[in-house]
């Protein structure tokens, strides 16, 4: 028996010795023999990678690893091919390996070595960078032991990976998560026709531009005109010289659904199945002229479908947008994405070079609760399954949007390695970013998402939190969400985490304020009645707006929508509301009927919208009813009343095809049978960028019971705002009767 024990002891000792031989003590008790070595003629990124690795080693362990071009007899962490030469790595690939005691980090091309270094920092030094513009969180570790062998090779799932969010303003985040930035790659980006052939040519050469409804307009270019091609080539030559290192060049229509209807363009488009025909033929001519360049074109709106005959050349990339779909369902199964899936299939049949332009925020309200995070991972998986080569995932550029940290994390991780589990990424982020109170944040995020699904409402990138006041953003639901985040904030002992929770709850604060504008004199609105039945600003609302403004400033949030509303202008708007005289009207509660219904997508408060005693804001989705075509609105004041004036209020928001009516006339009656016309109002249209409301006052000076307001819109859109499928709209918010 003694002999057996001895044999077992010797075996265990041998096993321990073998285990020690198969691991490296890189740092022990805060000390290290290792040096970081770089090539004698190191690139700037290799030097940068060495500095980063040195800094994080010291931050985590306290050990300062010297950087040198020669290892000597010391073990080394090699940046680049210095200790041994590996096989040449393909694009967007990095490797981490060992050669005895030496650890070798390699990466291809421009930034691959940075990808390798940050992988090492995260996986061996245990640092995590959870969100853009926040420092990485690192533990204090006195001993770093690395098990052998080290044999890591990673390659990107997509050739191009962009998360167009606040990540763009954080260089380390971009390198850590191996993302691309369009400014680094595109010499000409996006909707480019107006850059290639500027509008200044229109006055002398309107034939360079698109023919629409029989008239030349600035909406698009005439792609069959030989001079347009010549000017485009001349402009590209200039841009090539100014940006010799750029990879991509966009030849894409302007951001509207118009296209040229001239004889030559129409002939091509009939054969090709639509305006995508002239576009791809035009792009192909340019691509053939410069075979060494790579061109992109946006497949969007009128050009979303693939042409029937012409195939893009190999140096042409199709950037297919799915802007039209709702975001509460993944693109693979969502009903609203059916056309996108068909377009994607058709494009892939004629070219393998397809990128997808995807969307993950509400552009009209960056801070609106927008829980589309479950789709981020599944969408990326669908794109990979369909052999998409690149993804441009748009959030709010460098502007903060709701849940930007979570969505950026999931998208970035999946774009590098689409095989990662979606739920695992969600749980990992929430737990890591919100720490000891993550359970409350998790419940908030999942409850919000669940309530969207139960409501049956659509997540629209051009939606509004006001529209959901009776669904997943009802006052009752908001109170439940707020209670969860209240518990999280009060339970956290970390100042950093409390700040993160306050930033997350800005979407709820914003929703409350936006809905207050909508509710007006109703519960949860701007105004409430005192005991003396006098209308006044609701108690606590001014402080809520003030605190919201401070929170925006503290979080560095300056812009609240794609349309350009700033945080400053938003707070100023509230200041004007507080200073505004509280409106009074004799028509409050009057019965309202319409000759034709309003546009159902923007129901406001229904018939009450025009007689609830509340004005609309500059946002057309707040207390405005929208009409297409002529209409007559009838008010029944319920009893004969002496009226001095009648003032309907209209909105002009040309960006959304809302114009002042061409003509407004009012007739009044005491008995509902005999009507007298008061007067009429006529307007003329001029091009404007600002959004303005226009009250139109009619003098009455008599007793009346019934009021009829007849509205005639513009007969058609003006040339400078033409659209193939839209008509001029009229918006009215209240009929003020005094």
The pLDDT value recorded for residue 617 is 85
- The closest of 390, 291, 304, 385 to 347, measured between CA atoms, is 304
Going from the C-alpha of 415 to that of each of 92, 160, 642, 647, the distances in angstroms are 12, 9, 68, 55
Going from the C-alpha of 503 to that of each of 289, 440, 500, 550, 555, the distances in angstroms are 51, 15, 5, 11, 7
The pLDDT value recorded for residue 109 is 64
Q: Rounded to an integer, what distance in angstroms lies between the CA atom of residue 507 and that of residue 498?
A: 15
**Whether 629 contacts 723, CB under 8 Å:** no
* Backbone torsion region of residue 45, taken as left when φ is above 0, otherwise alpha when ψ lies between -120 and 50, otherwise beta: alpha
Instruction: Report phi then psi at 264, rounded to 5.
Output: -65, -45
Q: Rounded to an integer, what distance in angstroms lies between the CA atom of residue 46 and that of residue 107?
A: 10
- The closest of 715, 707, 518 to 624, measured between CA atoms, is 518
Note the pLDDT tens digit of each residue in 139-186: 999 999 999 999 999 999 999 999 999 999 999 999 999 999 999 999
- What are the structural domains of the chain? 22-155 (3.30.379.10), 182-420 (3.20.20), 441-579 (no CATH), 591-737 (2.60.120.1190)
**Whether 359 contacts 462, CB under 8 Å:** no
Q: Rounded to an integer, what distance in angstroms lies between the CA atom of residue 496 and that of residue 137?
A: 11
List, in order, residues 6 or more apart from 436 with CB less than 8 Å away.
491, 492, 493, 494, 497
Instruction: Report phi then psi at 393, rounded to 5.
Output: -95, 110
- Dihedral over Cα of 667, 592, 735, 584: its sign: positive
Mean per-residue pLDDT of the chain: 92
Other CB atoms within 10 Å distance of the CB of residue 596: 11
Could you tell me the two tokens for 574?
């509230």
**Whether 234 contacts 286, CB under 8 Å:** no
Q: Rounded to an integer, what distance in angstroms lies between the CA atom of residue 563 and that of residue 574?
A: 18
List, in order, residues 6 or more apart from 24 with CB less than 8 Å away.
75, 98, 101, 103, 145, 146, 148
Name the pTM for this structure: 0.92
The pLDDT value recorded for residue 82 is 58
Q: Rounded to an integer, what distance in angstroms lies between the CA atom of residue 697 and that of residue 79?
A: 76
- The closest of 83, 75, 80 to 27, measured between CA atoms, is 75
- H-type helices in 536-692, by residue range? 541-555, 567-579
The sheet carrying 186-188 orders its strands as 160-164, 390-394, 354-359, 316-321, 294-299, 248-250, 186-188
- The closest of 655, 650, 705 to 675, measured between CA atoms, is 705
Which residue ranges in the chain fall short of pLDDT 70?
Answer: 1-21, 81-90, 109
The pLDDT value recorded for residue 90 is 55
The pLDDT value recorded for residue 7 is 35
DSSP reduced 3-state for 125? coil
Could you tell me the two tokens for 124?
């061996």
Burial of 270 (0-12, 13-18, 19+ CB in 10 A): exposed
**Whether 625 contacts 602, CB under 8 Å:** yes
Query: Which residues, in sequence order, are bridge partners of residue 248?
Result: 186, 294
- The closest of 120, 91, 92 to 105, measured between CA atoms, is 120
Q: Rounded to an integer, what distance in angstroms lies between the CA atom of residue 336 and that of residue 323?
A: 10
Instruction: Report phi then psi at 567, rounded to 5.
Output: -60, -40
DSSP assignment of 37-49, as one string?
E--TT--HHHHHH
**Whether 698 contacts 666, CB under 8 Å:** yes
The pLDDT value recorded for residue 6 is 36
Could you tell me the two tokens for 468?
């959901």
Q: Rounded to an integer, what distance in angstroms lies between the CA atom of residue 284 and that of residue 315?
A: 9
Q: Rounded to an integer, what distance in angstroms lies between the CA atom of residue 585 and that of residue 643?
A: 10
Other CB atoms within 10 Å distance of the CB of residue 323: 15
The pLDDT value recorded for residue 5 is 38
Note the pLDDT tens digit of each residue in 681-695: 888 888 888 888 899
């Amino acid at each position: 028996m003694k002999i057996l024990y001895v044999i077992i002891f010797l075996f265990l000792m041998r096993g321990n010795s073998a285990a020690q031989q198969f691991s490296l003590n890189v740092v022990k008790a805060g000390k290290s023999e290792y040096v970081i070595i770089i090539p004698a003629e190191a690139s700037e990124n290799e030097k940068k990678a060495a500095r980063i690795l040195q800094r994080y080693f010291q931050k985590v362990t306290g050990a300062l690893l010297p950087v040198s071009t020669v290892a000597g007899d010391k073990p080394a962490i090699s940046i680049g091919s210095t200790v041994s030469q590996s096989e040449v790595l393909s694009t967007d690939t990095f490797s981490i390996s060992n050669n005895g005691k030496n650890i070798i980090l390699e990466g291809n091309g421009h930034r691959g070595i940075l990808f390798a270094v940050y992988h090492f920092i995260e996986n061996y030094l245990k640092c995590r960078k959870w969100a853009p513009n926040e420092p990485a969180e690192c533990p204090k570790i006195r001993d770093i032991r690395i098990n052998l062998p080290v044999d890591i090779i990673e390659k990107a799932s997509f050739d191009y990976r962009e998360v167009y969010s606040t990540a763009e303003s954080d260089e380390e985040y971009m390198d850590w998560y191996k993302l691309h930035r369009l400014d680094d790659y595109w010499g000409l980006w996006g909707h480019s026709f107006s850059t290639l052939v500027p509008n200044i040519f229109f006055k002398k050469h309107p034939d360079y531009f698109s023919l629409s409804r029989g008239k030349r307009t600035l909406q698009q270019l005439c792609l069959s005109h030989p001079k347009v091609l010549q000017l485009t080539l001349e402009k590209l030559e200039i841009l090539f010289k100014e940006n010799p290192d750029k990879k991509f060049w966009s030849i894409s229509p302007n951001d509207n659904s118009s296209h040229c209807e001239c004889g030559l363009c129409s002939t091509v488009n009939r054969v090709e199945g639509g305006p995508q025909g002239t576009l791809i033929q035009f792009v192909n001519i340019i691509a053939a002229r410069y075979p060494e360049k790579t061109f992109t074109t946006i497949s969007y709106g009128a050009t979303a479908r693939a042409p029937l005959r012409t195939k893009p050349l190999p140096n042409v990339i199709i950037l297919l947008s799915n802007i039209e779909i709702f975001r509460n369902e993944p693109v693979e199964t969502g009903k609203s994405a059916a056309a996108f899936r068909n377009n994607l299939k058709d494009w892939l049949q004629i070219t393998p070079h397809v990128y997808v332009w995807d969307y993950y925020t509400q552009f009209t309200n960056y801070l609106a609760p927008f829980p589309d995070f479950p789709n981020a991972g599944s969408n990326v998986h669908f794109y990979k399954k369909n052999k998409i080569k690149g993804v441009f995932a748009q959030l709010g550029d460098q502007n903060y949007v709701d849940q930007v940290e979570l969505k950026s994390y999931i998208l970035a991780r999946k774009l590098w390695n689409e095989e990662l589990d979606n739920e695992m990424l969600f749980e990992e982020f929430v737990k890591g970013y919100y720490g000891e109170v993550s359970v409350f944040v998790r419940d908030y995020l999942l409850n919000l998402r669940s309530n969207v699904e139960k409501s049956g409402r659509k997540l629209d990138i051009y939606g509004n939190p006001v529209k959901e006041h009776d669904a997943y953003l009802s006052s009752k639901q908001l109170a439940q969400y707020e209670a969860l985040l209240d518990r999280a904030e009060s339970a956290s002992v970390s100042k950093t985490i409390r700040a993160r929770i306050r930033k997350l709850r800005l979407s709820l604060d914003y929703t409350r304020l936006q809905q207050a504008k909508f509710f007006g004199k109703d519960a949860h609105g701007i105004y409430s009645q005192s005991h003396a039945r006098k209308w006044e600003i609701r108690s606590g609302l001014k402080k809520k707006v003030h605190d919201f403004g401070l929170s925006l400033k503290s979080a560095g949030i300056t812009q609240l929508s794609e349309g350009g509303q700033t945080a400053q202008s938003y707070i100023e708007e509230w200041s004007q509301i507080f200073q505004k005289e509280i409106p009074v009207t004799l028509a409050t509660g009057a019965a309202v009927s319409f000759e034709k219904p309003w546009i159902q997508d923007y129901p406001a408060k229904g018939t009450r919208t025009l007689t609830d005693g509340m004005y609309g804001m500059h946002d057309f989705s707040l207390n405005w009813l929208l009409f297409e075509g002529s209409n007559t609105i009838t008010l029944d004041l319920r009893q004969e009343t002496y009226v001095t004036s009648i003032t309907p209020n209209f909105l002009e928001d040309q960006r959304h095809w809302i114009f002042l009516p061409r003509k407004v006339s009012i007739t009044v009656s005491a008995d509902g049978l005999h009507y007298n016309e008061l007067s009429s109002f006529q307007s003329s249209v001029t091009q404007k960028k600002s959004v303005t409301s226009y009250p139109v006052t009619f003098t009455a000076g008599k007793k009346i019971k019934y009021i009829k307001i007849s509205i005639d819109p513009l007969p058609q859109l003006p040339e400078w705002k033409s659209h193939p499928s839209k008509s001029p709209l009229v918006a009215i918010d209240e009929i003020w009767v005094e």
